[in-house]
Structure formats: C-alpha cells, structure tokens
Homo-oligomer: A and B are copies of this chain.
Amino acid sequence: MKNLKLKAARAAMDMSQQVLADKTGVSRQTINAIEKGDYNPTIKLCTAICKVLGKTLDELFWE
C-alpha cells in the first residue's frame, strides 16, 4: 500500500525525494520505496521524516 500521505506532505512543502533523503540522512531510493509502499522503514527514520515535514507519526504512518 502506497503512502500517499507522505507523498502529499512532501509535495506540500515543495520538496524533492532527493532533498528529503538528504535531510533525513538516507538514500533517495529509500524515500521512493517508502512512498511506493512496498516496505517497512524503521521508527527512527519515520520520526526523522515526520520532523522534516512538520507532521507526527500518526499523521503520516498510521492507517
């Protein structure tokens, strides 16, 4: 299942996958894969993404 909430939050900040990757300290492919939804990031990375995008875990990663 795609993570459209993440994709939308990133779009709302006008931030590319590459920039989000740099700010969270992971590769662009990792961000892409999380948005694509076919895997399972660590809570630490989810938290880092939330902080960069100004959202909480519940807002981006709760179903």
C-alpha gap A47/B42 in the complex (Å): 11
Contacts of A58 in B (CB 8 A): 56-58
Task: Return the chain B residue nearest A60 by Cβ.
Answer: B57
Total identical chains? 2
Q: Given B43, B62, B63, which contacts A42 in the complex, CB threshold below 8 Å?
A: B43
C-alpha gap A40/B46 in the complex (Å): 11
Query: Does A25 interact with chain B (Cβ within 8 Å)?
Result: no
Query: Does A41 interact with chain B (Cβ within 8 Å)?
Result: yes
Q: Given B41, B57, B63, which contacts A61 in the complex, CB threshold below 8 Å?
A: B57
Name the distance in Å between A31's Cβ and chain B's nearest Cβ: 14
Contacts from A to B (Cβ < 8 Å): 40-44, 46-47, 56-58, 61-63
